[in-house]
Chain A
Amino acid sequence: MNSFKKKINSKLDDEILYNNLKNFATSYKKSRSAALNGLDFENLRSEINNKRTYSPDYLETLFQRFKNNAEKSGANVYRAKTGTDACRYIAEVCKAHETEYIVKSKSMTSEEIRLNDYLENENLKPVETDLGEWILQIAGEHPSHMVMPAIHKSREQVAEIFSRFTGKKIDKDNIKEMVKTAREYLRDYYFKAKVGITGANVAVAETGTVAVVTNEGNARLTSTVPPVHIVLLGYEKLVEDFDTAFDIINLLPKSATGQNISTYVTWMKGCNPSANNPTDSKEIHYVFLDNGRLAFFQHPEFREALKCIRCGSCANICPPYEMVGGHVFGHIYIGAIGLILTALYHGEEKAKDILKLCIGCKACSFICPAGIDLQGIISKLKVIVGEKYGINPVKKTIYSTVIPNSRVFSAALKSASFFQRPLIAKDGKHLKSIPFIPESKDFRTLPSVASAFFTERFKKNYEKQRDFKKKVLFYPGCAVEYFYPEMGESLIKILNKAEIKVEIPSRSVCCGLPAIASGDGKSGKKTIEKNLKQMGNPADYDSYLVLCPSCGMAVKEEFPEYTSDNPDLYKVSSDIAQKTLSLGMFLEKENIRFKVKNGAKVTYHTPCHQARGLGSSAGEMLKETLGNNFVELEDSDVCCGFGGTYSIDFAGISSGILDKKIQKIKETGADIVITDCPGCIMQIEGGLMKKGIDIKVMHLSQFLDEYIEIVR
């Protein structure tokens, strides 16, 4: 096992981490939505996003404006090209003032450039004053979360760290006493230090003012008591005016901790009075860090990542982060933005493994208060890094030669279908056991390959449908084609009842998403081009339907993107993209109503790519149709842990996420879980069967086919 996998496993075994992150994720969601209650989040975040789309020229203008204002009021402004430049400048200022201690309030930028290590090498003593950061500093560790650095620690562990540091016995249950201990020690340092270092949350160009946000008030003391104050900040913190600054200050705490506002928002301009300084006013230094930022401001997509306001919400709702924490899911910056910033600031070599940890659920893109499509950027970085460092050779062969060639793929699965026969369970649809699979990856009962594939069944049984006025093209995708043809048959039956004709592509080809998600963009493109050749003329169809939202998302997003170099194909793919819908969306669009035939208790799991890829969920429709027989599933739209090959590559993370989903499903007391993604079904049904839990999992199409009547 390689060291990356080992590191993941050690985190998966860390019970304290598991409980801390799980409890936090639950309470965070509640307090965040309470803080955002009554606000138009979408509007607020798009405003922040729009206002902070800077061209490199405009950014330079903002910087010059800030610099002029700052220098006019007596402050020093330094432009650091690299992390080392910034460290060197800061160390020189500290040495010039002959200080032994330096107090610091939390600054992720200083973590980025490993400032403490540099200062310690120069025999200076930086002291972190944020409680969480201080705990980690004296423990010799680094933050695992941007807002709650020590979230991976228990009170017992903190008591132990404090006892070791102070030489006094600290009661392991008395958090108040621990906080008091920190207060006493840190108070002393503020007065010993001649230099204080803070970061900045925003830098307002119009008057040359920075704001620092804390709950503890440590930045206030850091910027007040010592006679010298250094502000270390990245160029991305610049905003034009207080308008934008307030937009950020308003949304940051709500997204970070679910607070209405942070306890202290401190605005500083110029050299304020300082009795400890012989000149009677404070010496101020602004250190603007480049470290790659200025180049990325020129990149149309990566510059989006520079809009991050460091709230940490992309970690708070990330299912894989919740399993392994920030010491694995990130490098210095953590969470989804951490994967991106690691690639941007610390290099692809450091990013290549951790980028794979993204399961692609898109929860981050939808929660980001700065409106960054984090998952989209991660997906692009995966392709870039995949091209450079290569992807798993087995996957590469499958994606580049087997999958794009439907005949080869189909033949391979046909022989699998034959050879699996002795392994098939009594139900005829699942495998009793899976040969050669290590125990750690064997957490699900998997479906068997269908004996007759969907396209085959279609040609045999459904080729002759009545010529209804309405006609749709159903794109089956691999899951329906090879594993779940009955889902596709259900779709045809329902739609025929509603007097709609269903056609399919002449040959089934993968949508290309698995290759792209694994970083193999070239194979993805090849596959997409094959598909478009057999998806007919968009003008002939009312809609294009999918039963797999991931395929749907690929058709809507990846098909146009990967054909943008070919005008003819692009035209077809964007027309198809506009017409692509899930079954639920189509039924709603056509206003097709239902009546329940039976009284089973039903709940609904919202697939990631249904809610966040196609932008809709069948939950409301089911609730309306089923009335009292419908039970809400808590965290319905949280990922089930499938993620395609992710569930094999990172089986431990995948099964951990699935366990949480199964727990929530059990809590509903439902007889049937409906969802509309074959991947989710493979995962959830597989997990329930493996655990021997008697809850049925059905695709929306099968449920509608079996339990519902169409109302005319």
Chain B
Amino acid sequence: MSDSKLDQFIKNSQAVDNKNFCLSKNELLKNLTGVPFVHLPSFEQYTRCKIDQNGISTACIEADRGVAETGTVVIDSSSEEIRLASSLAEHLQVVLLKSKILNTIFDIKDYMKEHTEKNNAYIAFITGASRTADIERVLTIGVHGPVKMTVFIINDL
């Protein structure tokens, strides 16, 4: 794939205050130490922890797709622990394979159709940490869910 999609993804992801890192699979695996919740099917990495109303420090979850035009990641959250971890982690880390970046949300239509034809589905488009501007329109991060979001883009896959 051309790097223009990657560049566009990073630009739009930065625009919503995400940190973005391009790294190799091996570099990523070194970064996982101490992360209480890990769900990376592509690398067969799974770590679990108790998730209650106190939340958790960090969750590292693999995205199925990325969208260059908006800096969005698409996470299949049908499993309850992924839903809870991604909603209640202070720091949400998302792992995205470079090859999974598409141009626009319209390119995810087939993915959506396929997943929602199953009996149940919970698909999340996430573009940044939880935010509000409800008080005097001042942008404030972390009103319910994550206060910080990082995207690890795996450039060798």
A209 touches B116 (CB 8 A): yes
Asked if A135 contacts B134 (CB within 8 A), the reply is yes
| Distance, CA A286 to CA B111, complexed state (A) | 24
Q: Do the beta carbons of B134 and A246 come within 8 Å of each other?
A: no
Q: How far is the CA of A187 from the CA of B87 in the complex (A)?
A: 11
Q: How far is the CA of A208 from the CA of B121 in the complex (A)?
A: 10
Is A242 at the interface (CB under 8 A from chain B)?
Answer: yes
> Is the CB–CB distance between A243 and B109 below 8 Å?
yes
Is the CB–CB distance between B140 and A220 below 8 Å?
Answer: no
A308 at the interface (CB under 8 A from B): no
Among the interface residues A131, A221, A264, which one has the most CB atoms of the partner chain B within 10 A? A264
Q: Decide if A130 is an interface residue (CB 8 Å cutoff).
A: yes
Asked whether any CB of chain B lies closer than 8 Å to the CB of A271, the reply is: yes
Q: Is the CB of A217 within 8 A of B137?
A: no
B112 touches A267 (CB 8 A): yes
Q: Point out which of A246, A261, A281 has the most chain B C-beta atoms below 10 A from its C-beta.
A: A261
**B20 surroundings in chain A (CB, below 8 A):** none
Q: Report yes or no: B137 in contact with A148, Cβ–Cβ below 8 A.
A: yes
* A218-B117 CB under 8 A given contacts A27-B137, A263-B16: no
Q: How far is the CB of B84 from chain A (nearest CB, A)?
A: 6
Residues A216 and B131 in contact, CB atoms below 8 Å apart: yes
Write the nearest CB–CB distance from A40 to chain B, whole angstroms: 14
Contact indicator A269/B144 (Cβ below 8 Å): no
Are B105 and A129 touching (Cβ within 8 A)? no
Contacts of A271 in B (CB 8 A): 120
Partner of B121, one of A180, A209, A225: A209
Q: Nearest B residue to A249 by beta-carbon distance?
A: B105
Cα of A183 to Cα of B72 in the assembled complex, Å: 24
Q: Is the CB of B144 within 8 A of A183?
A: yes
CB contacts (< 8 Å) of B135 on chain A: these are 131-132, 135, 150, 153, 155, 158, 175, 178-179
Interface class of chain A by DSSP: mixed
* CB of B127 to closest CB in A, whole Å: 5
Q: Which of B79, B84, B143 has the largest number of chain A CB atoms within 10 A?
A: B143
From the candidates B112, B120, B144, name the one contacting A270 in the complex (CB within 8 A). Answer: B120
Contact B121 A272 (CB under 8 A): yes
Count, chain A residues at interface, CB 8 A: 69
Q: Please measure, in the bound complex, the distance between the C-alpha atom of A23 and the C-alpha atom of B133, giving whole angstroms.
A: 14
**A99-131, CB < 8 A from B:** 129-131
Whole-angstrom distance between the alpha carbons of A50 and B87 in the complex? 36
> Do A154 and B136 have beta carbons less than 8 Å apart?
yes
The docked-state distance in angstroms from the alpha carbon of A131 to that of B134 is 6
Least Cβ distance of A429 to chain B in Å?
Answer: 45
**With A and B bound together, what is the CA distance between A391 and B69 in angstroms?**
52
Is the beta-carbon distance between B144 and A217 smaller than 8 angstroms? yes
Does A139 make an interface contact (CB < 8 A)? no
Which residues 268-300 of A sit at the B interface, judged by CB distance below 8 A? 268-275, 281
CB-nearest residue of chain A to B131:
A215
- Given the interface pairs A149-B134, A250-B105, A273-B78, the reply to whether A179 lies near B140 with Cβ below 8 Å is yes
Please give, as numbers and ranges, the residues of chain B lying within 8 Å of A218 by CB-CB distance.
143-144
Q: Does A570 contact B (CB under 8 A)?
A: no
List chain A residues, Cβ under 8 A from B106: 246, 250
Q: Which residues of B contact A187 (CB under 8 A)?
A: 53, 55, 144
What 0/1 readout, one digit per residue, does chain B (117-142) give for beta carbons within 8 Å of chain A? 11111111111111111111110101
User: In whole angstroms, how far apart are the Cα atoms of A591 and B116 in the complex?
Assistant: 58
Q: Does B70 lie at the interface of the complex (its beta carbon under 8 Å from any beta carbon of A)?
A: yes
Query: Contact flags (1/0) for A182-225 with B, using CB distance below 8 Å?
Result: 11001110110000000000001011110000011110110011
Instruction: Tell me if A275 and B80 are in contact (CB < 8 A).
Output: yes
The reply to whether the CB of A73 lies closer than 8 angstroms to some CB of chain B is yes
The answer to whether A261 and B105 touch across the interface, beta carbons within 8 angstroms, is yes
* Binary per-residue interface labels of chain A (128-151) against chain B in the complex, 1 for a CB within 8 Å, 0 otherwise: 011110010000000000001111
Residues in B whose Cβ lies below 8 Å from that of A176: 140
Would you call A130 and B125 a contact (CB within 8 A)?
Answer: no
Q: Which of B80, B109, B144 contacts A216 (CB 8 A)?
A: B144
Residues of B contacting A148 with CB < 8 Å? Answer: 133-134, 137
Least CB distance, A127 to chain B, in whole angstroms: 13
Cβ-neighbour of B12 out of A20, A23, A150, A260 (below 8 A)? A260
> Taking the nearest CB of chain A, how far is it from the CB of B154, in angstroms?
23
Contact A274 B80 (CB under 8 A): yes
Question: Any chain A CB within 8 A of the CB of B52?
Answer: yes
Quick check: is A24 within 8 A (CB to CB) of the other chain? yes
Q: In the complex the two chains form, is A270's CB within 8 Å of B119's CB? A: yes
Closest to A245 in B: B112
Whether B134 lies near A150 (C-beta < 8 A) is: yes
Across the interface, do A207 and B137 meet the contact criterion of CB distance under 8 Å? no
The reply to whether B121 and A220 form a contact with Cβ atoms under 8 Å apart is no
A281 / chain B contacts, CB cutoff of 8 Å: 120
Does A616 reach chain B (CB closer than 8 Å)? Answer: no
The interface residues of chain B lying within 8 Å CB-to-CB of A243 are 109
> Which of A216, A220, A221 sits near B132, CB closer than 8 Å?
A216
Partner of A263, one of B86, B87, B127, B137: B127
Q: Is B30 located at the chain interface by the 8 A CB criterion?
A: no
Q: Which of B79, B125, B140, B146 contacts A261 (CB 8 A)?
A: B125
9 additional A-B pairs beyond A187-B53, A216-B144, A220-B144, beta carbons within 8 Å, are A151-B137, A155-B136, A155-B138, A175-B138, A261-B72, A263-B131, A264-B126, A266-B123, A267-B123
- What are 16 contact pairs spanning A and B, CB under 8 A? A151-B137, A179-B140, A179-B143, A187-B53, A209-B116, A209-B121, A246-B105, A249-B105, A250-B105, A263-B16, A265-B72, A267-B116, A267-B121, A267-B125, A270-B120, A272-B122
A residues whose Cβ falls under 8 Å from a Cβ of B = 20, 23-24, 27, 72-74, 129-132, 135, 148-151, 153-155, 158, 175-176, 178-180, 182-183, 186-188, 190-191, 204, 206-209, 215-218, 220-221, 224-225, 241-243, 246, 249-250, 257, 260-275, 281
Which 10 pairs, one residue from A and one from B, show the smallest C-beta to C-beta distance? A270-B120, A132-B134, A217-B145, A265-B125, A207-B116, A217-B130, A261-B70, A131-B134, A191-B53, A267-B123
